Structure 1
């Protein structure tokens, strides 16, 4: 309801608004969208993705605000799945229905002694409180264009600090991306001569790649921080031209609809249609 109110308020006021799904602004991800739109993988069949972190595996990690539903809303689902849901919509289109599973592995944690940002361990906590969000959420999805998808978000992915990966398989080829190598995009062309077929790595650092010409010479890599600069650039350009940049509040509404449908599916054990 709040998302709808925000979308309606922006439309009524006629102002420029934007939501910060900054992973769209990685040049390699922007290139992936161009490749999908230009038919370089043909008809998309599969979107598979994982987003893994491991910062709360330790059972002595305290009950910070990110682990409390009344403050955070959800756990790994809203924190991590939101990004790969938006990525999937950006690359493969809208969702039709979902089937979800949510799990909390450690149900009680020591209460923190001090306040923090919610990502660090506090020493000396003794009393325990209940964890009221998910530690991990997995779901399957059907897209309106006929593709299917799998999504996994976990804060218990040992060895992964911020491991977002996705792969799209289509009728003519595939692409895959790993945020830990965010300047690279891998591409497989099924139509290529069989003698030379295989995954090829594209280094998305040429001036012809999205956003890159505003930075360094070709081959000089970009980092995660540049994605925020790209977002700010698009927002400022939107203010200057009066055109709403992407991702919009409406994109946020569409993402929230998927998040809530997954929660409902996890509660009921059935497939749930995605509606706004």
Structure 2
């Protein structure tokens, strides 16, 4: 694994837990953790359960005992690491957004297609699609329980930088992050809605905004918050919020909002789908619940039904706890590791593929172009 901050910790937990709760055809071995600083990487490896620590990921790619490379670094390094790993014959799991630009995503998707011809697999880490309630939502749509889908409403609301004194971090630097709220959390709702509908976005119109243009520079930029301030400020070069409308290939309309300035909202990924025969609604801040409305019921008693998605028959849930004992944020990462290992063992492409990641990247780029041109953009 390359990178050991927020996502590195989440992925490490997944690799540790997956073979202990799920029956896997191959057993992951946490061989080596790569980072830039030798001391911090060694400490992280000890804490997170990795056998070794290294500072040169390129040399690790030459090792015969390494078969999978898990990329948990900022977006500006994804393309270089992923392409090199695939060319070295390593299966790749890459955090989202897959890349910082469409050109980088194209190169990664092309490298993945070449690697697949040699039996080497690649997957993008859109973990929310592995939340049991969202996986159940996809099943209900695929079963036709909603009928023809008319509307999709998607929001991802956070508030961790609403304070203008919150320090500058790599997530606020376009060169490292690619974009702000749009790529960081907007990418998730783009993938999640396309996953639930089994459809793709074909056209968008939107706008981006940056509310705080300068922030304090801290002595460390390694995470979501810094350490002591240096007394200097630096520019915020990404969007703080993104809003856009979308048309799907089926004709469904979508509205999307991604912001890190929604005071009081910590991780409110919300999706509502309205169809000709029913609706469903989800909010990650109540992640074990899916709301479902059956439009064919008698109007006198019809209403949204609260489904507690903890039954053994629900997606992924059977490997965990008795009904009613809910899962948490970290479980979707375990499900991701499980699906990845099973696909590699079966010789099939794990979803979402790099081609799927490229489609999301094209949507993000179209939203940025629309904000600049103030016009609809084809994806």
TM-score by length of 2: 0.71
1:142 aligned partner: 247
Secondary structure at the aligned position of 1:90 is classed as helix
Using the alignment, how far apart are the partners of 1:214 and 1:98 within structure 2?
Answer: 39
Aligned length: 273
Segments of 5+ residues of structure 2 without an aligned counterpart are 1-102
Distance in 2 separating the partners of 1:186 and 1:130: 42
CA offset at residue 121 of structure 1?
4.3
SS at match of 2:243: strand
Q: Distance in 1 between matches of 2:263 and 2:114?
A: 46
CA distance in structure 1 between the partners assigned to 2:364 and 2:229 by the alignment: 35
> Alignment partner of 2:326: what SS?
coil
Residue 106 of structure 2 is aligned to residue 4 of structure 1: yes
The separation in 2 between residues aligned to 1:105 and 1:221, in whole angstroms, is 37
Give distance in 1, aligned partners of 2:164 and 2:110.
Answer: 43
225-234 or 59-68, larger mean C-alpha shift: 59-68
Q: By how many angstroms is 1:260 displaced? A: 0.3
The offset of 1:58, in angstroms, is 1.0
Tell me what 1:47 maps to. 152
Cα distance in structure 1, aligned partners of 2:230 and 2:206 = 34
Q: How much has 1:118 moved relative to structure 2?
A: 3.0
Q: Is the 8 A contact 1:101 1:139 kept in 2?
A: yes
Matched, 1:72 2:72: no
**Residues of 2 paired with 1:117 and 1:76: CA distance?**
18
- 1:124, CA displacement in angstroms? 3.3
Structure 1 regions of 5+ residues with no counterpart?
none
Deviations 1:205-245 (A, max 9, x none): 11111111111222221111110110001111111110111
**Larger relative contact order (CA 8 Å, sep ≥ 6):** 1
Whether the aligned pair in 2 keeps the contact of 1:44 and 1:171 (CA below 8 Å) is yes
Distance (Å, rounded) in 1 between the aligned partners of 2:166 and 2:328: 29
Q: Please tell me whether the aligned partners of residues 48 and 167 of structure 1 are also in contact (alpha carbons under 8 angstroms).
A: yes
Q: Does 1:199 align with 2:301?
A: no
The separation in 2 between residues aligned to 1:57 and 1:31, in whole angstroms, is 33
Of 186, 198, 202, the residue aligned with 1:81 is: 186
How far apart, in 1, do the equivalents of 2:174 and 2:221 lie? Answer: 17
TM-score by length of 1: 0.96
Alpha carbons 2:217, 2:229 under 8 Å: kept: no
Is 1:101 the counterpart of 2:207 in the alignment? Answer: yes
Match of 1:253 in 2: 358
Q: For residue 135 of structure 2, what is the aligned residue in structure 1?
A: 30
**CA contact 1:186–1:200 (8 Å) conserved in 2:** yes
| TM superposition shift of 1:184 | 0.6
1:61–1:122 contact (8 Å) kept in structure 2: no
Q: Which residue of 10, 15, 19 corresponds with 2:124?
A: 19
- Aligned-residue RMSD, C-alpha: 1.1
How many Å separate the matches in 2 of 1:38 and 1:213? 21
Could you list the per-position Cα deviations for residues 16-68 of structure 1 after superposition, in whole angstroms to 9, with x for gaps in the alignment? 11110000001110100010011111110110011111111111112211111
1:163 match: 268
Q: Shift of residue 117 of structure 1?
A: 2.7
After TM superposition, where is structure 1 displaced by more than 6 Å over at least 4 residues in a row?
none
SS of residue paired to 1:9: helix
Aligned equivalent of 2:348: 243
Matched-pair contact (CA < 8 Å) for 1:173–1:191: yes
